[in-house]
Amino acid sequence: MSRPLARLFLSAALLSGLSLTAHAAEVANAAAAQPVPATPTLVTGLPDFSNLIDKVGPAVVNIRTTERVTRGQGAPGEEEMQEFLRRFFGGQMPTPRGRRAPPGQGGQEEQVARGVGSGFIISQDGFVLTNAHVVEGADEVTVTLTDRREFKAKVLGADRRSDVALLKLAANNLPYLRTGDSSKIRVGEWVVAIGSPFNLDNTVTAGIISAKSRDTGEYLPLIQSDVAVNPGNSGGPLINMRGEVIGINSQIATLSGAYNGISFAVPIDEVMRVADQLKTTGKVTRGRLGVQISEVTKDVAESLGLGKARGAEVSMVEAGGPAEKGGIKVGDIILKFNGQPIETTRDLPRLVGATKVGTRATVTVWRRGAQLDVPVTIVELQEERSPTARPTPKKPSPGAAPNALGLVVTDISPAQRGELGVDGGVLVENADGSAATAGIRPGDVISQVGNTAVANAAQFNALVAKLDPKKPVALLVRRENVSQYVVVKPRQ
C-alpha cells in the first residue's frame, strides 16, 4: 500500500528546505483523507482471437475411440437406443464391455464407439498429446485433422496419475503447436481452448486463468480457468495469446456433469516431462520415499515447538523402504526435501515423484524439538502395501484409574513390539475424558508425548502427571500401521 499523501507532502517540503505551516498541515491532512487517485486504465477493449485460431487451429485434432465387444440378441429396441445415444451424445454414453450373448442365442464381435475427445499435434512427424482417460480401454484410436484427413493412432503410453497420453500418427509435415512455459502464466491473462465438446469438433472457447497451482486432490497442481470445457474437450490444448500450449484441458468442477464456470488443465511443463518418458519407455517412472504422511495442524505445530503449521507429518514408514533405511521415523515432521520447503503435505509427493530413481536426496525433519538432515536414496514408486492388523487391547486392569488425560495404558510385550515394528510406546487399554474426545481408543499405541519418546507405562504416566493442565499436548498415536499426532488437553 502506498504511503499517505501527508507523508509525501512532508518529504517534499523537507527536501526543498521549507517547513510546513499550520495551514499547510491542515491541507495535507485533508488530502490524506481522500481516496487514492485511480490509476490509468490498464485494460482496454477485448481481444480478437481470429488470427490466433487461424494459426493454431489446424494442429488441434478430434479423437474417436472404439472397443471390440461381443454382442448378443438384446432387448427389443436396445440397439436403436444405443445408436441414438451415440449420435446425439457424441459417443459419451457408457458401453457394456465384453458383453456375452445369452446361452443359445449366439453373438458376434464388433467395434463399438466408446467416446470422443480432443488432442493436439506437438511435432511435424505426428506425435499427439491427449488425456489418458480419453484413450483408456480403447482398442482403436482414430485421429481426425481439421482438413478431414484421418489416421489410426498408436498409443505409445498413458499415465493415469497425470492424465497424459502420447499417441503417434504415421504421417509427416503435419501442423503442430509450440509449447509454452506454464510456470510463467499469470492469473487474469486470456486463454483459449479448442476441442470437440459433444463431438462438435474445432469448437473454440475463451476465458481467463482463474488460479495457478490449484490443488484438487490429484497428484499435480492444476491450472484453473473459466474457459468453457465440456465432455469431448478432454485432451485439447489450453493456449495463451502467443499461440503456445500451456496446458491440457482435463477436468471440470460440476454438479450437473456439464460446464459450470470452472475448468482445470494439466500444466504443460509436467505434461512434457511425462511425454518424454512415454516416448522413451512407454511408461512414467516416479520416485518414492516410502512414507505415509498427514497434514500438520496448528495445534500440533505449536505443541511440538514448530511455530506455524508447515511440513508433512510422517504417519507410517514402510518396512525396508528408503525412508526406513535412511533413518526417517514415525512422528518426524518433514520440513524440506533437497532444500525445498514443504509447506503442505501435497508438496512432498510431487517433489519426490519428480526425483530420478537412485538419486541420493536430503530430507530435513523436525524430531523431538530439533531439526536434522536425513540422507535417503530414492527408489521407484510402487503400489501401496496393505496395512498390518493392530494389536488386540487387553481388558482394563481391575481398579486401574485413568491419568489426567483419561487414559489407562499398559506396556507393550516384546512380541507385540516385533509385530508392530516399534521400539517402545504403550498400549491403550481404556480411553475416557479428553483423550476419548480427541479420538483415542483402546488398542491404540502411544509412542510420544510432546517431543519426548515413550518407553513404558510408568514413564508415560509420569510425563502426563507433569503436564500443564492449561496447555494441550500432542500425543503420537499409532492405529493399525498409521501414526498421527493427536492433541489432547489435560484435565484441570
Residues marked active site are found at 133, 163, 234
Alpha carbons 376 and 390: distance in angstroms, whole number = 28
For residue 315, give the H/E element and its range.
strand 312-317
475: β partners: 449, 486
Furthest CA-CA distance within the chain: 107
Alpha carbons 113 and 84: distance in angstroms, whole number = 12
Q: How far is CA 143 from CA 42, 86, 119, 245, 333, in A?
A: 42, 18, 9, 19, 48
3-state secondary structure of 299: helix
Residue partners of 35: CB distance under 8 A and separation at least 6: none
3-state secondary structure of 17: coil
What is the residue-wise DSSP string for 104-147?
TT--EEEEEEEEEEEEEE-STT-EEEE-HHHHTT-SEEEEE-TT
Alpha carbons 76 and 86: distance in angstroms, whole number = 18
Q: Could you write out the three-class secondary structure of 351-391?
A: HHHCCCCCCEEEEEEEECCEEEEEEEECEECCCCCCCCCCC
3-state secondary structure of 171: coil
3-state secondary structure of 22: helix
The answer to whether the CB of 139 falls within 8 A of the CB of 66 is yes
The answer to whether the CB of 134 falls within 8 A of the CB of 91 is no
Alpha carbons 443 and 392: distance in angstroms, whole number = 6
What is the residue-wise DSSP string for 401-432?
PP-TTSEEEEEPPHHHHHHHT-SS-EEEEEE-
Alpha carbons 86 and 78: distance in angstroms, whole number = 12
Alpha carbons 384 and 380: distance in angstroms, whole number = 12
CA angle at 57 for the pair 55 and 61, rounded to the nearest 5°:
145
Residue type at 323 in one-letter notation? A
3-state secondary structure of 385: coil
